[in-house]
Amino acid sequence: MITKEEALRYHAEGRPGKLKVVPTKPTVTAEHLSLAYSPGVAEPCREIAAHPDDAYRYTAKGNLVAVVSNGTAVLGLGNIGALAGKPVMEGKGVLFKRFADVDVFDIEIDSEDPEEVIRAVQLIAPTFGGINLEDIRAPECFRIEEELIETLDIPVFHDDQHGTAIISGAALLNAVDIQGKRLDEVRVVFSGAGASAISCARLYKDLGVLAENLILVDSRGVIHTGREEGMTSQKEEFAADTSARTLADAMKGADVFVGLSQAGLVTPEMVRDMAPKPIIFAMANPDPEISPPQVREIRDDAITATGRSDYANQVNNVLGFPFIFRGALDVRARKINEQMKQAAVQALAELARRGEAIPEVVKRAYPGEAMDFGPGYIIPKPFDPRVLLYVAPAVAQAAIESGVARQEMDLRAYEQQLQMRIVEVSSL
């Protein structure tokens, strides 16, 4: 367990924080400086003024993502404000760079007004190749993302919504297969109805789960038809025609539990009441709704996943956003659409199923863990370098095929480029 002192020392020692900016061109002579700034810099400025897409050729725009937050829903800390959320946004930048060689500026916006957040992002958008929204509370996050997707011509992605959906979606595909079930037959119960849960429910529907087999439960109980208290337009979308009113009611006979709520909400009795061969994704952080050891005491036929690295099957968003943006940036995509998200889901699921030899770097990061496809290994590990080679090309190809890419690419040559990036970032 990491101590408070260790965490503070890590962030404070040496150069404070976790990110820095370094030049990518030589700067050792007067001529270099004349090229970098005045007078040489005027030439790319003129080219971009005449041909705006040349910004991708002459500037860092094509490999630069803004991680944007207003600090209203930071990790498990809640509404701590923009400034206090900055360490998290810097951390997100570290993950972008470490896993996919994507550069990041973290942008903390000191406003809880969604219209101000939208306008601020619109004004800075020319700087970036993509926008990663982070730790913005629901329901404002839905409005902010939707408006930015509509008005900007670069990818906008709210990771708190879609990251968990994509990674857990890949885990769901494989877990359902291992348990001998069908997506169009499983009953899925969600504990939680915030941004992540709503996005997961939408993606699971796209993957094949029937709308009538989805039940969402929030702090007021089951979201059902006729309920008025605590409803939003997003919750109305999943109002179920059911007599169940509590989480315990909903869990009876359920095939899949998806926890995006609070520690300890699932009791042994609820797990016992689930269908044979249940799938339990208890993803509350830092402590799950029910722990895998607790599940094993009750059911030896269950597959479990959590958000933690000390249990098998970690649903970790770092398996998604770096590689999704990598693929989107490299084809200069105008947006990240549903086809690209589903491509990421399928690529992650396939990588776990392939049965290829696990790289040594992964074995060293997770000593003693079995990594053969099965109940204890339904999704790849975050440190697996092959994720970049699977997910980024799949996302890029989906962008091309769905018409949101600005440029085509030779996927075989692209994979070679990605191999080089793996070598570069492995030393970070």
Chain-centroid distance, C-alpha 424: 23
The answer to whether residue 110 is domain-embedded is yes
pLDDT for the residue numbered 370: 79
Average pLDDT over residues 142-148: 97
Average pLDDT over residues 25-40: 97
380 and 334 part of one domain: yes
Cα separations (Å) of 157 from 240, 312, 326, 406?
Answer: 28, 27, 13, 18
381 and 298 part of one domain: no
Average pLDDT over residues 182-208: 97
Tokens of 42: 């005027």
Whether the per-residue pLDDT at 426 is higher than 80: the answer is: no
Cα separations (Å) of 310 from 252, 261, 286, 293, 330?
Answer: 29, 19, 11, 12, 34
Question: Are the beta carbons of 373 and 352 closer than 8 angstroms?
Answer: yes
Average pLDDT over residues 324-331: 98
The answer to whether residue 44 is domain-embedded is yes
Tokens of 201: 């429910």
Mean of all residue pLDDT scores within the chain: 96
> What's the one-letter identity of residue 190?
F
Average pLDDT over residues 107-135: 98
Average pLDDT over residues 306-328: 95
CATH number assigned to the domain comprising residue 266: 3.40.50.720
For the stretch 348-391, pLDDT in tens is: 999 999 878 889 889 888 888 878 999 999 999 988 999 999 99
Total tally of structural domains belonging to the chain: 3
pLDDT band at 423 (very low <50, low <70, confident <90, very high): confident
Of 129, 159, 189, the domain-final residue? 159
Question: Are the beta carbons of 73 and 137 closer than 8 angstroms?
Answer: yes
Average pLDDT over residues 271-299: 96
The answer to whether residue 344 is domain-embedded is yes
Whether the per-residue pLDDT at 232 is higher than 90: the answer is: yes
The answer to whether residue 396 is domain-embedded is yes
73 and 137 part of one domain: yes
pLDDT for the residue numbered 425: 82
The pairs formed by 380-384 with CB atoms below 8 angstroms and a separation of 24 or more are 380/319, 380/348, 380/351, 380/352, 381/314, 382/99, 382/309, 382/314, 382/316, 382/318, 382/319, 384/351, 384/358, 384/359
144 and 177 part of one domain: no
Tokens of 399: 């962008």
pLDDT for the residue numbered 285: 86
pLDDT for the residue numbered 309: 87
Its domain, for residue 101, covers: 17-159
For the stretch 39-56, pLDDT in tens is: 999 999 999 999 999 999
The answer to whether residue 267 is domain-embedded is yes
Of 132, 159, 186, the domain-final residue? 159
74 and 148 part of one domain: yes
Question: Are the beta carbons of 93 and 68 closer than 8 angstroms?
Answer: no
21 and 41 part of one domain: yes
124 and 168 part of one domain: no
169 and 155 part of one domain: no
Average pLDDT over residues 144-170: 97
Whether the per-residue pLDDT at 1 is higher than 80: the answer is: no
- Pick the more confident residue, 75 or 81: 81
Of 113, 142, 159, the domain-final residue? 159
Whether the per-residue pLDDT at 406 is higher than 80: the answer is: yes
pLDDT for the residue numbered 286: 85
- Which residue numbers are catalytic? 37, 92
H-helix or E-strand spanning residue 96: helix 86-100
Average pLDDT over residues 273-297: 96
The answer to whether residue 372 is domain-embedded is yes
Whether the per-residue pLDDT at 119 is higher than 80: the answer is: yes
Which one-letter DSSP state was computed for residue 358? P
The answer to whether residue 4 is domain-embedded is no
274 and 290 part of one domain: yes
pLDDT for the residue numbered 351: 97
pTM of structure: 0.95
Q: Report the C-alpha gap between 117 and 69 in whole angstroms.
A: 9
The answer to whether residue 9 is domain-embedded is no
Of all residues in the chain, the percent with pLDDT exceeding 70 is 100
